[in-house]
Structure 1
């Protein structure tokens, strides 16, 4: 595929945080996008509704569900590439509803793989997560790090990864797996730590309610994540197909230090109140994640274009817009 050719890219999970940014990136690169939005009776297209008309003119929105094979087949038919981002992602909710995670993240992925296989789609980009590694045993984390799933969410994502690997090995399905580390930026839900902190500060709070402040994370700005998806979706097959790639910065910061940095950038003197409801079970907490993205850089030339502070400033600007802040319930704990 070439960014100068009007190819068709199908995206599952297109209405979500990363998915909507990826749709923007693909359109900017010259693709037409067929975007699956999970069927709902509110006729809501999620974050796609906030995109400019110049973007939406190149997007066909399809209501469906990755748990339904027919929906997936209709979405991917005739596509030049499929980007599979649809997933249940909130770790705390996976403790409450693990069956839902298996149905979406494992069976949904199976449906996508089957459709891509039988319709002979030239490229499938499957989305993994750094949570499949669990707490770092060696640092930085390469793609050869052991898989150690410490939550039902992580286990369901690892299941999808193994299916993707097996389809490439068994059927030569042209799949590449991208494993982003902790993506952040505008449009992210309040179940993640950065919008939780920034959203509370933007709403006027100076005592921030959080869980454990000790874990460290490798935070990747969402536009860099979208660029990584687009890169592995268009790179020559011999460079990427059948491989798994980390996408991260190689840096890390603790949640506690992150709060301090956000306070500095927002000119706010912050204190933290611990909420035990936000703390994961001890054996389930992933204490340290930091990426080694050498494989992705060497295969494609991709590298992050934004520093943590630059990304935070863009995110702060987003949440300080009253129209954007009004979309969030900053006073509620989002599971």
Structure 2
């Protein structure tokens, strides 16, 4: 028998992050009970724990108390420019293993566990669009830690109903300006005369956080398990086209300066994927236009 919304309890790690906040609000509106791990407590949570992912015993006790029917693991060290290589593996690899051990030790029966990996594992792919069978070519410790995490999670496929998702780039209101697309919108919203960026000759599969949230929500109740699924729009958007669109929205164009401090030697030039498998599993999902996404971000920043 399918669970009714009132019976659904989802545990979201990294809940107070950019994606987690949007996802928690969406699932709450859909009738889910939401419990969060890490960072600040949100108003929509019925329970919350701020603890180290690697504190397995503490996690297990809390999970036993919460009794989640579903889990979405978003918590990760995500910024690809960090110089602390060990922290990527401690959080992204060992932290994920600790969470799965905690679920096992709590002896809760979960319907689905979604674990967020990253499209960064593909690196400079030989051809695009990138499918789930494309050969991984990670070019930094963030990407390599995610690929290592995937290898570790495979051994759990026979024991738990796990889906691993590989999100490509996405943005939206509330994203930190440590991410380039939010940084660009913020500069335009503040009317800055100069915009200092790194590599300009890059293109990404850029979608909207609302698209990603919808994908996660549908995958939560899908029948698939033991699979890897791209979360992407299938469109390649250049950094310069984002700047051009923002010029139309804001009515001016700042001076664009390439700052060597922001230039990465291992920059991935183009990364866009195929959403065919995702759409085959959950059906078509509308991808908001670049204009609509950037406009929503611009309006939110202008109000702050």
Q: TM-score, normalising length from structure 2?
A: 0.93
Match of 2:5? 4
The equivalent of 2:114 in structure 1 is: 125
**Counterpart residue number, 1:272:** 256
DSSP-derived class of the 1:139 partner: coil
Change (3 A) 1:206 1:102: same
Deviation sequence 1:138-166 (CA, Å, 0-9, x none): 11000001111101011111111122222
What's the TM-score once normalised by structure 1's chain length? 0.85
- Pair 1:227–1:307, CA change in 2 (3 A): same
- Post-superposition Cα deviations, 1:151-197, rounded to whole Å, max 9, x if no partner, equal 101111111112222211xx432100111110101111111111111
1:275 shift after superposition: 0.9
Q: Contact 1:228–1:302 at 8 Å: present in 2 too?
A: no
Q: Does 1:296 align with 2:283?
A: no
CA distance in 2: counterparts of 1:59 and 1:308, whole angstroms? 35
Question: More deviation in 70-79 or 188-197?
Answer: 70-79
Which of 152, 161, 166 is 2:150 aligned to?
161
Unaligned runs of 5+ in 2: none
The 1:71/1:184 distance shift into structure 2, 3 A limit, reads farther
User: Is 1:3–1:29's contact at 8 Å kept on the other side of the alignment?
Assistant: no
Structure 1 CA distance, aligned partners of 2:155 and 2:8?
27
What is the distance in 2 between the residues matched to 1:131 and 1:164? 17
* Cα deviation, residue 58, structure 1: 4.8
Once the two structures are superposed, the pairs formed by residues 63-82 of structure 1 within 5 Å of their partners are: 63-77=50-64, 78-82=67-71
Name the SS of the counterpart of 1:291 in structure 2: coil
Give structure 1 stretches of 5+ with no counterpart.
39-43, 49-55, 323-335
1:16 aligns with 2:17: yes
Contact 2:132 2:229 in 1 (8 A): yes
Per-residue deviation, 1:109: 0.6
Distance in 1 separating the partners of 2:288 and 2:57:
39
CA–CA distance in 2 between the matches of 1:67 and 1:304?
A: 37
Q: Of 138, 141, 144, which residue of structure 2 is paired with 1:152?
A: 141
Whether the 8 Å contact between 2:125 and 2:135 is mirrored in structure 1 is no
What residue number does 2:219 align with? 232
Q: For the residues of structure 1 that align with 2:44 and 2:84, how far apart are their CA atoms?
A: 37
1:297-324 residue CA offsets vs partner (Å, 9 max, x unmatched): 01111423412211111111111112xx
For residues 240-287 of structure 1, what are the alpha-carbon distances to aligned partners after superposition, in whole Å with 9 as ceiling and x for unaligned? Answer: 211111111111111122212112222122221111111112xx2111
| Counterpart position of 1:137 | 126
- Residue range with higher mean Cα deviation, 56-65 or 19-28: 56-65
CA distance in 1, matches of 2:145, 2:282: 28
| Whole-Å separation in 2 of the counterparts to 1:159 and 1:117 | 21
Distance 1:209 1:182 in 2: 20
- Distance in 1 between residues matched to 2:290 and 2:56, nearest whole Å: 39
- Name the counterpart of 2:289: 307
Question: How far does the alpha carbon of each residue in 1:42-75 deviate from its partner, in whole angstroms, 9 at most, with x for none?
Answer: xx44xx4xxxxxxx25532221121221243234
Stretches (4+) displaced over 6 A? none
- Which residue of the partner structure matches residue 233 of structure 2? 249
Q: CA RMSD in A?
A: 1.6
Q: 1:106 aligns with which of 86, 93, 101?
A: 93
SS of residue in 2 equivalent to 1:26: helix
Contact 2:25 2:44 in 1 (8 A): no
Partner of 2:72, secondary structure, is strand
